[in-house]
């Protein structure tokens, strides 16, 4: 049975997948180099989570916003190509016939001189302890629909039928500070409006619906070591505030899948 057609996936809207350890090491190594560059603190694979946390915590809020803006947090180069290879093999166990990752949108491409129209959309996210570095609950399809046919519509390397999202835990992830899903919400009509926020349009899920469903938010992971999670682009999810005293870093990307 292919994962995408399993009853667990159909009912819950997500599934835990094994994530290759060598790929995780390559991604983590890439990110540590970026953090070293942004913080001027020398970090490598033997650096402790406290050392990484302190390097970032020592930046002022203004410096953090500048140095860790979304264009600065896009995985490029070798680990990006390896992630793309991982995705291309996914249909063997997941289902579908062909899979790839989308490129950045034209607006994002303009935001950094190193981007071009084939730069993969591979953001990594860094959530500082006790700071508001997280977004509101949403389903990714809401953003895709809002951005369709605008400058923020991601470029795509292939024709596809379905979108899936992958979230990869990297540094400091635990059950209380990592992604949370509302199981089964991909099958529900979730009320939301579109609001203008910092000059861009964003989905805003109905407050009453969120209050009623607050108790359903749940982190899907039991173990964070060798796993990632793949989920429907209709599944409601959020990143909680990081109440631990260490940094939390993850990576995410969309999978375009041909049936
Ligand atoms: Fe999302």
Q: What number is the average pLDDT over the span 141-158? A: 97
What mean pLDDT comes out for the span 81-96?
98
Residue 247 lies in a domain: yes
Instruction: Using the mean position of ligand 1's atoms as its centre, give its distance from the Cα of residue 231 in Å.
Output: 10
Strand-pairing partners, residue 253, are 166
Helical (H) or strand (E) element with 27: helix 21-39
Task: Look at residue 159 and tell me if it is in a domain.
Answer: yes
**Which among 255, 258, 185 is positioned nearest to 220, based on CA atoms?**
185
pLDDT at 86 over 90: yes
Residue 47 lies in a domain: yes
Q: What is the pLDDT of residue 199?
A: 82
For residue 1, is it within any domain? Answer: no
- Ligand 1 centroid distance, CA of 165 (Å): 8
58 in a structural domain: yes
For residue 42, how far is its CA from the centre of ligand 1 (angstroms)?
31
Domain annotation covers residue 129? yes
CA of 41 to the centre of ligand 1 (A): 30
pLDDT value of residue 134: 87
Query: What pLDDT is stored for residue 198 in this prediction?
Result: 80
152 CA to centre of ligand 1 in angstroms: 15
Residues 165/140, Cβ–Cβ less than 8 Å: yes
Q: What distance in angstroms lies between residue 135's CA and the mean position of ligand 1's atoms?
A: 8
Q: Give 183 Cα–ligand 1 centroid separation in angstroms.
A: 15
- Per-residue pLDDT reduced to its tens digit, 129-141: 999 888 899 999 9
* C-alpha 249 to ligand 1 mean position (Å): 15
Query: Residue 46's domain is classified under what CATH number?
Result: 2.60.120
CA of 40 to the centre of ligand 1 (A): 30
Count of domains observed in the chain: 1
Q: Which residue range is the domain that position 163 belongs to? A: 6-258
C-alpha of residue 143 to centroid of ligand 1, in Å: 8
Give the global pTM.
0.97
For the chain, how big is the Rg over CA atoms in Å? 18
Nearest Cα to 107, choosing from 207, 199, 228, 209?
199
Q: What is the pLDDT of residue 205?
A: 98
Cα separation, 185 vs 256, whole angstroms: 21
Burial code of 74-104, b = ≥16 C-beta within 10 A, e = fewer? bbeeebbebbbebbeebbeebbbeebbbbbb
Tell which residue, 239, 235, 236, has the closest CA to residue 249.
239
Residue 228: inside a domain: yes
Residue 188 lies in a domain: yes
């Amino acid at each position: 049975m292919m994962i995408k057609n399993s009853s667990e996936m159909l009912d819950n809207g997500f599934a835990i997948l094994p994530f290759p350890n060598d790929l995780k090491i390559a991604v983590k190594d890439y990110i540590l180099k970026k953090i070293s560059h942004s913080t001027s603190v020398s970090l490598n694979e033997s650096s402790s989570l406290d050392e990484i946390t302190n390097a970032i915590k020592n930046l002022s809020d203004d410096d953090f916003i500048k140095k860790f803006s979304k264009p600065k947090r896009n995985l490029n180069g070798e680990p990006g190509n390896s992630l793309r290879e991982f995705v291309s093999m996914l249909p063997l166990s997941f289902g579908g016939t062909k899979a790839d990752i989308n490129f950045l949108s034209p607006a994002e491409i303009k935001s950094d001189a190193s981007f071009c129209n084939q730069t993969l959309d591979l953001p990594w996210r860094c959530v500082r302890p006790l700071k508001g570095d997280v977004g509101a609950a949403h389903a990714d399809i809401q953003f895709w629909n809002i951005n369709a046919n605008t400058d923020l519509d991601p470029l795509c390397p292939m024709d596809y039928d379905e979108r899936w999202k992958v979230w990869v835990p990297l540094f400091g992830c635990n059950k209380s500070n990592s992604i949370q899903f509302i199981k089964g919400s991909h099958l529900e009509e979730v009320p939301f409006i579109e609001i203008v926020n910092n000059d861009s349009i964003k989905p805003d899920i109905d407050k009453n619906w969120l209050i009623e469903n607050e108790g359903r938010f749940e982190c899907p992971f039991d173990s964070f070591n060798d796993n990632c999670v793949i989920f429907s682009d209709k599944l409601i999810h959020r990143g909680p505030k990081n109440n631990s005293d260490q940094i939390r870093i993850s990576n995410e990307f969309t999978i375009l899948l041909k049936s």
